Structure 1
Amino acid sequence: MQHGKYRFITGFLALPLGLYLLFVVWPFVQSIYYSFTDWTGLSPEFGMIGAGNYTRMLDDPVFWKSLQHSLVLVLVLPLVTLGLALFFAFMINVGGRRRNAVVAGVRGSAFYKIAYFFPQVLSIAIVALLFQFAFNPDDGMINATLEAVGLGSIQPDWLGDPDLALIVVMMVLVWSTVGFFVVLFSAGMASIPREIYEAALLDGATRFTTFFRVTLPLLWDTVQSGWVYMGILALGAESFAVVQIMTVGPGGPDYSTTVLPLYVYQAAFRDGQAAYATTIGVALLVVTLAFAAIVMRLGRRERLEF
Structure 2
Amino acid sequence: MKQRKGLFITSFLVLPVALYAIMVISPFLQAFYYSMTNWTGTNPNYKFVGLDNFKRLFTNELYSVYLIPALKHNAFLLIAMPVIVIALALFFAFMLNVGGRSRGSRIRGVGGSKFYKIVFFFPQVLSVTVVGVLWGAIFRSDEYGFLNSILALVGIPTKPSGWLSDPDIVLLLVMLVMIWSSVGFYLVYFSAAMSSIPTEIYEASMLDGASRVQTFFKVTLPLLFESVQTAWIYLGIIALDAFALVFVMTPEQGGPNHSSEVLGGVMYHYFSSSKAAVACAVGVVLFFFTLTLVMVSLRATRRERVEY
Shorter-chain TM-score category? Answer: over 0.9
* Aligned-pair CA distance for 1:18: 2.1
1:294 aligned to which of 293, 296, 300: 296
Aligned twin of 1:264: 267
1:123 aligns with 2:127: yes
Contiguous gaps of at least 5 residues in structure 2: none
* Residue deviations 1:51-79 (CA, integer Å, cap 9, x gap): 11111111212101111111111111110
Choose 56-65 or 42-51, whichever is displaced more: 42-51
SS at match of 2:252: coil
Shift of residue 294, structure 1, vs aligned partner = 1.1
Deviation (angstroms), 1:155: 6.5
- Give the 3 Å change call, closer, same or farther, for CA 16–276 of structure 1 in structure 2: same
Distance in 1 between residues matched to 2:191 and 2:8, nearest whole Å: 37
What secondary structure is seen at the aligned counterpart in 2 of 1:152?
A: coil
**Residue 200 (structure 1) aligned with residue 196 (structure 2):** no
Q: CA deviation at 1:156?
A: 6.7
Whichever residue aligns with residue 173 of structure 1, its letter is: M
How many matched pairs?
303
Q: Match for residue 74 of structure 2?
A: 70
State the 1:138 CA deviation. Answer: 1.7
Q: What's the CA shift for 1:15? A: 2.5
Q: Distance in 2 between matches of 1:42 and 1:61?
A: 25
1:173-192 matched pairs, under 5 angstroms:
173-192=178-197
User: Which residue number in structure 1 is paired with residue 109 of structure 2?
Assistant: 105
Q: Which moved more, 1:186-195 or 1:10-19?
A: 10-19
Structure 1-normalised TM-score? Answer: 0.95
Contact preservation (8 Å) 2:141, 2:159: no
Matches within 5 A, 1:4-153: 4-59=4-59, 60-139=64-143, 140-152=145-157
CA pair 171-156 structure 1, distance change in 2 beyond 3 A = farther
Alpha-carbon distance change, 31 to 153 in structure 1, aligned in 2, over 3 angstroms: closer
Aligned partner of 2:246 in structure 1 is 243
Query: Are the counterparts in 2 of residues 62 and 255 from structure 1 also a CA contact under 8 Å?
Result: yes
Q: CA deviation at 1:17?
A: 2.1
Q: Which amino acid aligns with 2:215?
A: T
C-alpha contact (below 8 Å) 2:71/2:263 kept by paired residues:
yes
Question: In 2, distance between residues paired with 1:122 and 1:154?
Answer: 28
Alignment partners' CA distance in 2, 1:4 and 1:68: 54
| Amino acid corresponding to residue 98 of structure 2 in structure 1 | V
Contact map agreement 1:146 1:155 (CA 8 A) in 2: no
What's the RMSD between the two structures over aligned residues? 1.5
Q: What one-letter code is carried by the residue in structure 1 that aligns with 2:54?
A: Y
Amino acid at match of 2:300: L
Amino acid at match of 2:22: L
For the residues of structure 1 that align with 2:216 and 2:160, how far apart are their CA atoms? Answer: 39
Deviations 1:202-224 (A, max 9, x none): 11111111111111111111111
CA contact (8 A) 2:97 2:110 kept: yes
Letter in 2 for 1:232: I
Q: 2-side partners of 1:228 and 1:137: how far apart?
A: 35
| Contact 2:100–2:111 under 8 Å retained in 1 | yes
Identity %: 47
Gaps of 5+ in 1: none
CA contact (8 A) 2:148 2:158 kept: no
